[in-house]
């Protein structure tokens, strides 16, 4: 059984892996969209891709700026403004802010030590362990990443490039995974 420091290191590595996976998934969905697609609103009261990205940028910046030393809801955050639709002219800057916000998160994760996981941080004056705060944000970004993927898939239609195992290719994928796990299996010795 691993000691608590090894377990904490594994938990921190898993959290970083999950954030990396959601960032990659979102980026691969966003890369398939034209600028006009970012602004499309599926229904009255619904959010465009650009609005979801804008909200995630605001959330990332607020939660992870001075993560260990200040409340995760920064006084200068204007959450409601994150839901005001940007214009086409705003998109290049929004895309830069998207990458910068994620880079800030990854820089923080690289600096965290396993012993930090049980430290206390606050979000909206509510105390959380670092572990709980990171898990809270992981689920928040997974939720919004799923929204981005669904919107992108809808917008691209038949031109959509699958981000996982394409329909009808599950067995082929499983065979390839078995082959990689057992490279010598099935070959003559």
Alpha helix positions (H), 31-161: 35-39, 49-64, 91-111, 130-156
Q: Which residues pair with 129 in a beta bridge?
A: 120
Residue-level pLDDT at 156: 98
Residue-level pLDDT at 3: 82
Between CA 68 and CA 73, with CA 72 as vertex, the angle to 5 degrees is 155
Residue-level pLDDT at 100: 99
CATH number at residue 74: 1.20.120.450
Checking if the pLDDT of 188 tops 70, the result is no
Checking if the pLDDT of 103 tops 80, the result is yes
DSSP output for 135-170: HHHHHHHHHHHHHHHHHHHHHHGGGPPPSSSPTT-H
Domain count of the fold of the chain: 1
Residue 94 placed within a domain: yes
| C-alpha torsion 155→159→164→170, nearest 10 | 130
Residue range 138-165, pLDDT digits in tens: 999 999 999 999 999 999 999 999 999 8
Q: Over the chain, what is the mean pLDDT?
A: 95
Residue-level pLDDT at 2: 64
Cα distances (angstroms) measured from residue 180 to each of 31, 62, 166, 185:
29, 42, 19, 10
Residue 186 placed within a domain: no
pTM, to two decimals:
0.91
Residue 187 placed within a domain: no
Which is more confidently placed, 2 or 117? 117
Structure tokens at 6: 């090894």
Residue 188 placed within a domain: no
Residue 122 placed within a domain: yes
3-state secondary structure of 3: coil
Q: Identify the domain containing residue 103 by its residue range.
A: 4-181
Residue range 168-180, pLDDT digits in tens: 899 999 999 999 9
Residue 189 placed within a domain: no
């Amino acid at each position: 059984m691993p000691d608590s420091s090894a377990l904490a290191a594994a938990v921190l590595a898993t959290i970083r892996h999950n954030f990396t996976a959601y960032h990659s998934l979102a980026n691969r969905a966003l890369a398939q969209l034209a600028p006009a697609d970012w602004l499309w609103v599926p229904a009255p009261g619904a959010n465009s891709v650009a609005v979801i990205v804008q909200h995630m940028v605001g959330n990332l910046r607020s939660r992870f700026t001075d993560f260990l030393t200040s409340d995760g809801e920064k006084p200068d955050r204007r959450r409601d403004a994150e839901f005001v639709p940007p214009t086409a002219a705003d998109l290049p800057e929004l895309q830069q802010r998207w990458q910068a916000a994620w880079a800030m998160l990854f820089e923080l994760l690289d600096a965290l030590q396993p012993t930090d996981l049980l430290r206390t941080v606050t979000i909206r004056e509510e105390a959380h362990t670092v572990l709980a705060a990171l898990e809270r944000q992981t689920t928040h970004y997974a939720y919004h990443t799923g929204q981005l993927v669904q919107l992108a898939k809808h917008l691209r239609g038949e031109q959509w490039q699958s981000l996982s195992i394409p329909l009808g290719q599950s067995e082929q994928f499983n065979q390839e995974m078995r082959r990689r796990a057992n490279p010598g299996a099935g070959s003559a010795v």
